[in-house]
Structure 1
Amino acid sequence: MPLLRFDLVAGRTPAELTALLDAAHAAVVEAFTVPDGDRYQVVHQHPAGELVVHDTGLGIERTRDVVVLQVTSRRRSQQQKEAFYRLLTRNLQEQAGVAPADVVVSIVENSDADWSFGHGRAQFLTGEL
């Protein structure tokens, strides 16, 4: 936890995907202070015509390297979220060659009762986590 869902245009190599996922995970660990082993990531790759990401009137030019990231997480402070955005774009640029203009993030918050990590139990509620 958190759960990261990446939507990308198809065509990245396995090494490029690994760099992208590692860069995002490092940002999560630092910004949200989660354990390094707390890693849940899902990648969805789409044909170019099936991923439409406009600039919302901000004048942001996107390339085919665009990354749309949805983060599902317990509540995080505004400071943690802003740190995550900064760390994520820095890491993605430095480690995966993704320009900051190509990174779109949405954080969806939920509560402890909304997570089960296996065995049909809500581990945050049972005290296992």
Structure 2
Amino acid sequence: MPLIKIHTARGRGREEIDALLDAIHEAMVAAFKVPERDRYQILMEHEPTHIRALDTGLSIQRSAAFVLLEVVSRPRTRDEKMNFYAGVCAALEARCGIAPSDVMITFVINSDDDWSFGLGRAQFVTGDL
């Protein structure tokens, strides 16, 4: 936890997808200090014509390499989020050649009783986590 949904245009190869997922996971572990095995990622590939991500008037240049991350998480501090944003961009640029201008991240915050990792229980509420 968190659950990270990655949206990208279809067309990346298996090795690039593996590198992309690994880079995001490593940045998440570093920023949020969660266990290495705390990994929940969903990669959704879209037809290139089905993604529109302009720049909200910020003059950010996007390319076909654009990646959007939706992070579903318990509350995080501002510093944790800022470290995550920077860490993801640095890792994706270093490992995948994806420019920081092609990375967009948004958080969806929820609470402990919004998570069940299985077995019909809310582990944050029951104290299992």
Task: Report if TM-score (shorter chain) is over 0.5.
Answer: yes
Aligned to 2:46: 46
Is residue 2:95 matched to residue 1:95? Answer: yes
- The C-alpha deviation readout for 1:17-66, integer Å capped at 9, x for no partner, is 00000000001000001000000000110011101000110001100100
**Which amino acid in 1 is paired with 2:121?**
R
Gap regions ≥5 residues in structure 1: none
- The C-alpha deviation readout for 1:62-111, integer Å capped at 9, x for no partner, is 00100000000011000000000000000000011111000000011111
TM-score (norm 1): 0.99
Question: 1:70, 1:23 → 2: CA distance?
Answer: 15
SS of the residue 2:53 aligns to: coil
SS of the residue 1:87 aligns to: helix
Is residue 2:85 matched to residue 1:85? Answer: yes
Question: 1:54, 1:15 → 2: CA distance?
Answer: 28
Question: 2:80, 2:22 → 1: CA distance?
Answer: 19
Is residue 2:5 matched to residue 1:5? Answer: yes
Aligned to 2:63: 63
Identity %: 47
**Which amino acid in 1 is paired with 2:27?**
A
Question: 2:63, 2:114 → 1: CA distance?
Answer: 35
- The list of structure 1 runs, each at least 4 consecutive aligned residues, that deviate by more than 6 angstroms after superposition, is none
SS of the residue 2:15 aligns to: helix
Aligned to 2:126: 126
Gap regions ≥5 residues in structure 2: none
